[in-house]
Amino acid sequence: MYFKTSDYPVFKGVDKTERNKIVSDAIRAHNNWINIRFILVAAGLFIFLFSFSSLRSILALPEWTSLLAFPVSGVLFYAYLLWEINVAVFEAVSMHTSVAEDQVPPTPASGLVD
């Protein structure tokens, strides 16, 4: 499990600016829905937080249950971010680096004669 993009095996020995450029290009090329997913998850969590108070009164839950709404939404958002890093962004970077490796021309032999 990766907690940040710099932990990807592809980025061993790559400086921070180059790594950020590769991730940005990979997301732009292979992960078009990342902004919409982020907005939907954030909106869903806000709707959950605001509707929890009415749900609590309808279900006649004790007062202390309202204290659980914020930690639960925080854990859900953190789980979403981990999913985004480990699945969506990782696949985009993998596809982008494999495409970049396919486009690199082969290096000529360095003076070796058969």
5-43 residue pLDDT tens: 899 999 999 999 999 999 999 999 998 899 999 999 999
Q: Please name the helix (run of DSSP H) or strand (run of DSSP E) that holds residue 102, with its range, or none.
A: helix 90-103
- pLDDT exceeds cutoff 90 at 105: no
Q: Please state, in angstroms and as integers, the Cα–Cα distance from residue 68 to each residue in 17, 47, 62, 65, following that order.
A: 39, 15, 11, 5
Q: How far apart are CA 17 and CA 10, in angstroms?
A: 14
Alpha-carbon dihedral angle through residues 11, 12, 14, 20, given to the nearest 10 degrees: 30
3-state secondary structure of 72: helix
Q: pLDDT per residue over 47-77, tens digit each?
A: 988 888 778 777 888 888 878 888 999 999 9
- pLDDT exceeds cutoff 90 at 89: yes
3-state secondary structure of 12: coil
Q: pLDDT per residue over 90-102, tens digit each?
A: 999 999 988 766 6
Task: Report domain extents, the chain.
Answer: 13-97
Residues 6+ apart with CB under 8 A from 14: 22
pTM reported for the whole predicted model: 0.77
